[in-house]
């Protein structure tokens, strides 16, 4: 494979190889830059290169940020990795903030973005949302995972199926789950916008969140919650909610602490609580 050297700004040697997707940039010798993720598989990358800069997952610029991939010794346990050199060299995503676009979220208003968000949560433990994502299935948070949006006043998540939504602690422990800066719109389609499931969800937090247009529950809290903290939460309106719907439905044995909350569920009730909790400015 043809290779030439370029002088970088600090006098070190940079490499530019004649491979598809290569961008002609002058960088330190331990980095290489590609236009698209898919271009890496066909490349033969020198042993001294330890990181890749990738400008797009599917198309150039589609992630809103340059992706950094680091050379790793073996196949990662998550799905955000690729190989080069005929499958013999592994590269794993190494950005501090991972977005669904980095996991090929379609973000087209039609297809389900939940699998990409779940892939980011599984690989990084937290997902940063900066777009409008449509969910036909559930986004699932496990222990100490976090979902961060742009703020409750900005459109962020729209639910397109009755069973779609965001849930922590349904298949495994959701201890310490953190959700912030989210607006989840059930669009008069989804039964529940947000749920803390039947697994352990102690010491979880919900801050700066708005849940709206649900049919049954805005926020449902399951049977193994404890020390749940809610701050700056607005639930409602819910135009399609009927008389047995609730803005917040809590059956967990432990207490919850809520400050600055608004609870409304159309024809239904504001708060159902079979345990106990503290509300301030509600």
CB-CB contact of 186 with 136 (8 Å) = no
What percent of the chain stands above pLDDT 90? 68
In this prediction, residue 127 carries a pLDDT of 97
pLDDT at 161 exceeding the cut of 80: yes
> What pLDDT, on a 0 to 100 scale, did the predictor assign at position 30?
67
Nearest to 1 by CA among 12, 13, 17: 17
C-beta of residue 195 within 8 angstroms of C-beta of residue 216: no
- Which pLDDT value is given to residue 107? 96
pLDDT (tens digit, 9 = 90+) per residue, 175-225? 999 999 999 999 999 999 999 988 878 889 999 999 999 999 999 998 777
In degrees and rounded to multiples of 5, residue 29 shows phi and psi of -70, -10
Mean pLDDT, the chain, whole residue set: 87
- Looking at the chain, the whole-number percentage of residues with pLDDT higher than 70 is 89
């Amino acid at each position: 494979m043809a290779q030439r050297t370029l002088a970088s700004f600090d006098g070190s040697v940079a490499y530019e190889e004649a491979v598809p997707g290569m961008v002609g940039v002058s960088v330190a010798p331990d980095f290489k830059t590609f236009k698209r993720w898919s271009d890496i598989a066909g490349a033969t990358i020198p042993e001294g290169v330890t990181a890749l800069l990738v400008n797009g997952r599917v198309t150039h610029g589609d992630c809103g940020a340059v992706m950094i991939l680091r050379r790793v010794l073996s196949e990662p346990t998550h799905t955000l990795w690729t190989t080069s050199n005929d499958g013999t060299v592994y590269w794993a995503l190494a950005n501090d903030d991972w977005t669904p676009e980095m996991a090929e979220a379609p973000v087209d208003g039609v297809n389900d973005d939940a699998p990409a968000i779940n892939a980011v949560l599984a690989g990084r433990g937290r997902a940063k949302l900066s777009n409008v994502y449509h969910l036909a299935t559930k986004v699932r948070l496990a222990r100490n995972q976090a979902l961060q949006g742009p703020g409750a006043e900005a459109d962020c998540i729209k639910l397109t199926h009755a069973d779609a939504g965001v849930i922590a602690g349904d298949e495994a422990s959701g201890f310490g789950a953190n959700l912030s800066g989210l607006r989840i719109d059930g669009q008069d389609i989804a039964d529940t916008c947000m749920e803390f499931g039947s697994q352990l969800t102690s010491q979880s937090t919900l801050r700066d969140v708005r849940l709206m247009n649900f049919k049954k529950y805005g926020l449902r809290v399951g049977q193994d919650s404890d020390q749940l903290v809610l701050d700056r939460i607005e639930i409602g309106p819910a135009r399609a909610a009927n008389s047995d719907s609730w803005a917040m439905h809590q059956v967990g044995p432990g207490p919850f602490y809520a400050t600055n909350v608004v609870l409304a569920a159309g024809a239904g009730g504001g708060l159902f609580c079979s345990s106990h909790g503290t509300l301030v400015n509600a």
